[in-house]
Structure 1
Amino acid sequence: MLTNRNLPSFYFLKLTGISIEGTRLALSPTETVLDSGTSFTYLTPTSYFVLHGIFGKKMSNFPTALPILYLDTCYDLTGHSEVDVPEIVLTYDGEVPTILDGSGIRYIVSVSQACLAFTKLNDDVKVSNIGNMHQCRFNVVYDVGNLRIGFGSNVVASDGSIDVIGLNAMY
């Protein structure tokens, strides 16, 4: 966990990589805030345009749709009962991966408008943020005393308890 004295109430990590279907994008590591108060993930323009370009190639079998809100990578999925969305993995310092499934990658307004739940910041200087659509797929554990954050599976057992044993890593 990184700290920022200008934003003491936020928890930061270093995002070191983004992969799509096993292909790691050539990106510089960036300070990233876990922001549960923001729906979407905001990346620096450089990172976003690389992700946008490769995601667009992977989704080229589907017609594009009009943008909504800040999301400009949208597709019309009308007539498609099953859509294989490319797997996206966010990797943090220490090679800690968080694998996003299709439900966390897409923001679905309707069948005719499903968008990539990532967007871009206004400039490359600002801090990226991981929004709640990408966090809610995991149990995020904050060990503030030891400056560590862990990600675990978001599995709810039949008795209603949450699986925290499946933590990928604490760092």
Structure 2
Amino acid sequence: MLSVSVNASMPPKLPPKSPTDKSKLKVASTDPVSEFHPGTPKKKKNKSSQLSIDPAATDDGGSAGEQTMVLDTASVFPWLQCAPCPVPPCHPQADTLYDPALSSTSGTFSCNSSACRQLGPFANGCANNQCQYRVRYPDGSTTMGTYVSDVMTLTPTRVISKFQFGCSHFAQGRSINTLTVGTMGLGSGSESLVSQGKGSYGNAFSYCIPPTASTTGFFLLGVPPASSSRYVVTPMVKGKLNPALYVVRLQAITVAGQQLSVPPTIFAAGSVMDSRAPITRLPPTAYQALRSAFRSRMTMYRAAPPKEHLDTCYDFTGVSSIRLPKIALVFDRNAAVELDPSGILFDGCLAFTSTSDDRDTGIIGNVQQRTIEVVYDVGGGAMAFRRAAC
């Protein structure tokens, strides 16, 4: 059992010891992605009558059934593109299209089933007495199709039977990652992978986002098997936006070892820990103080024009080595997390921006999380961090 704490008198609650499975984590267009294997292959129609070694998400050629999905802690609904899925309204994908007809364990839900009735905001009526879903993201991006279940293989020895997810026949919009087959929702909701797997793994998961697309991180269901002394811990707090979001509270920010002159009350609305949003958004007062301190320590480099909402950019042409000031985010209970250098700049710009108002909830984006193991102890209401984990 992992027991992590920065305050011996008030240790965070942690789920009971449970099996953990670690999978490789990659980066596609700033989104952290991992591979999943849905389905159980039907027997091939041949003389040997042996089972195919490939999962159900294969074509007749027997291509590998690995499905690369975006890991999203800010959404709860898992979905992937399913046959039939013409382009458009679907998007091209590198992995072979998942076909539930090739799986002996796939199934749909009738319109009057309890699973269908419990879809709530994701419900989208019926078609041929099969439960339909729709997910609409804040920017208007949409996916919809049939709500199904199948065996989800996480490792050769670990599976989630009757895993429920969206079988998408439509996936369009800006936030739909066209390099992957879909999204694995990890938010705090009954539909998410975390909730569906908590009976086997405990209500916890962690990941480490690698610094570049050519390096590898990891995604782990369950409590990390590591020493508590290597983590700093902060409590999760209830957010104003959505109960499915994981919210923590900043206390302070340091630049080059100096704490910014920002009152802790500026961070009162908390910040969503988001594995999918690339850029961190701070209250305007905090961002302006961070930007000023960062610029004052970067005067040796040529300034460059802003890039969209990033307003502190540099031209590093001909620069062989960049010296960046250390930046640390200090969370509640004095949980200080120093950012990796890869988590400070994005496309030559300071990878932070501001919210519209100091009263708005902030976002801790995935660029700032690079190389840091982020542990979501959902059952215990705590979040832990370990630097230089990948």
TM-score normalized with structure 2 length: 0.38
The one-letter amino acid paired with 1:22 is: G
Whole-Å Cα distance in 2 between the matches of residues 40 and 2 of structure 1? 21
Deviation digits for residues 74-96 of structure 1 (CA, Å, limit 9, x no counterpart): 01111210110111000001110
Three-state SS of the structure 1 residue aligned to 2:304 is: coil
Following superposition, which runs of at least 4 residues in structure 1 exceed 2 angstroms of deviation? 153-156
Which of 284, 297, 322 aligns to 1:83? It is 322
1:37 is matched with which residue?
Answer: 276
Q: C-alpha separation between the residues in 2 aligned to 1:107 and 1:124? A: 24
Task: Show structure 2 runs of 5+ residues with no match.
Answer: 1-235
1:16–1:27 CA contact under 8 A, matched in 2: no
Aligned to 1:18: 253
What is aligned with 1:151? 385
Q: Match of 1:127?
A: 361
1:2 equivalent in alignment to 2:237:
yes
Q: Residue 342 of structure 2 contacts residue 370 of structure 2 at CA under 8 Å; is this kept in 1? A: no
Higher mean alpha-carbon deviation, 30-39 vs 41-50, is at 30-39
Hey, what does 1:51 align to over in structure 2?
290
Q: Secondary structure at the match of 1:2?
A: coil
Paired with 1:26 and 1:132, the residues of 2 have a C-alpha distance of 25
Match of 1:115 among 349, 361, 374: 349
Distance apart, 1:5 and its partner CA: 5.9
1:37 CA drift (Å): 2.0
Give the total of aligned pairs.
151
**Aligned partners of 2:240 and 2:302: how far apart in 1?**
45
What letter matches 2:330 in structure 1?
T
Letter in 2 for 1:18: I
Q: Offset of 1:51 from its aligned partner?
A: 0.5
Q: How far apart are the structure 1 equivalents of 2:277 and 2:245?
A: 12
Partner of residue 62, structure 1: 301
Q: Secondary structure at the match of 2:295?
A: helix
Cα distance in 2, alignment partners of residues 136 and 103 from structure 1: 7
Q: Which has the larger radius of gyration?
A: 2
Identity of aligned residues (%): 38
Q: How far off is 1:154 after superposition? A: 4.4
Alignment CA distance shift 1:150-1:66 (3 Å): same
Instruction: Report if aligned partners of 1:36, 1:132 keep a CA contact under 8 Å in 2.
Output: yes
In 2, Cα distance between equivalents of 1:67 and 1:28: 28
Q: Distance in 1 between matches of 2:374 and 2:253?
A: 19
RMSD of equivalent CA atoms: 1.3
Alpha-carbon separation, structure 2, partners of 1:35 and 1:8: 14
Mapped to 1, the partners of 2:308 and 2:255 lie a distance apart of 24
> Secondary structure at 2:368's aligned position in 1?
helix
Q: TM-score, normalised by structure 1?
A: 0.84
Cα separation, 1, equivalents of 2:249 and 2:288:
19
